Amino acid sequence: MNTSLETHPTRIRLRAQPLTVEAFAEFGEVITSDGNTPLLINDGMTERFHALALVDTGDHGGHALINLFHAQPYALPMTLSSMERHPLGSQAFMPLDAQPFIVVVAPIGEHVEPADLRAFITDGRQGVNYRRGVWHHSLIALNTPARFMVVDRGGPGDNCDVVPIGDGAGVVLELDETQP
Ligand SMILES: NC(=O)N[C@@H](O)C(=O)O
Ligand code: NI
């Protein structure tokens, strides 16, 4: 698996790759109209891109929430030290300001090692839906303050586990030189 990790004696560097449906498939869905065929509704006035992602929130008496996140941008490179997961529900992020953002994920399991990490950069129009239990870094907005619609789970139970990445020494996240 291409982790786009380069290991140097003193630090591990993680490079963000362009987000694609195929590369993200093991972690959840990419929310995009690109490559999807719409249903024509409302007397032909609207295209419905139907069921792009599964909102999975019913476990243990949960329910779906629609939230707005107003995120401050991070400057890259940045050091990642921990990851989180939501064992009781999915979590979707949809940008409202057409700004790219960074998605860092790792496969479902009990621990996260630096080599497990995958980083992606969105194209500004794409959203993501993290499947229940998928490790991810909390929201990483870029360049400018940005608003997101977030669909996730409300209800009883502890729905957020946080673990250090490896020994917690940190993984440096950066963009390829060719990226904005
Ligand atoms: N804490 C919260 O609501 N958001 C995080 O789960 C996140 O993934 O950004
Ligand atoms: Ni989260």
**77 inside domain:** yes
Is the pLDDT at 87 greater than 80? The verdict is yes
138 lines ligand 1 (CB under 6 A): yes
Q: What percent of the chain has pLDDT over 70?
A: 91
If pLDDT is split at 50, 70 and 90, which confidence band does 11 have? low
Taking residues 114-133, report their average pLDDT.
96
- Is residue 4 within 8 Å of residue 15, measured between CB atoms? yes
pLDDT tens readout for residues 25-79: 999 999 999 999 999 999 999 999 999 999 999 989 999 999 999 999 999 999 9
Q: Provide the whole-model pTM.
A: 0.92
**74 inside domain:** yes
Instruction: Work out how many domains the chain is built from and give that number.
Output: 1
Taking residues 158-172, report their average pLDDT.
92
- Is residue 134 within 8 Å of residue 28, measured between CB atoms? yes
- Domain interval for residue 39: 5-174
144 lines ligand 1 (CB under 6 A): no
**14 inside domain:** yes
**111 inside domain:** yes
115 lines ligand 1 (CB under 6 A): no
User: For residue 150, which ligand has an atom nearest its CA?
Assistant: 1
Q: From atom 6 of ligand 1, which residue's Cα is the shortest distance away?
A: 138
**42 inside domain:** yes
CA–CA distance, 154 with 67 (Å, rounded to integer): 11
**179 inside domain:** no
**56 inside domain:** yes
Measured CA to CA in angstroms, residue 94 lies from 64, 76, 112, 127, 173 at distances of 15, 21, 25, 4, 22
What's the CATH code of the domain at 47? 2.60.120.480
CA–CA distance, 58 with 62 (Å, rounded to integer): 5
pLDDT tens readout for residues 144-157: 999 999 999 999 99
ipTM of the complex: 0.96
**152 inside domain:** yes
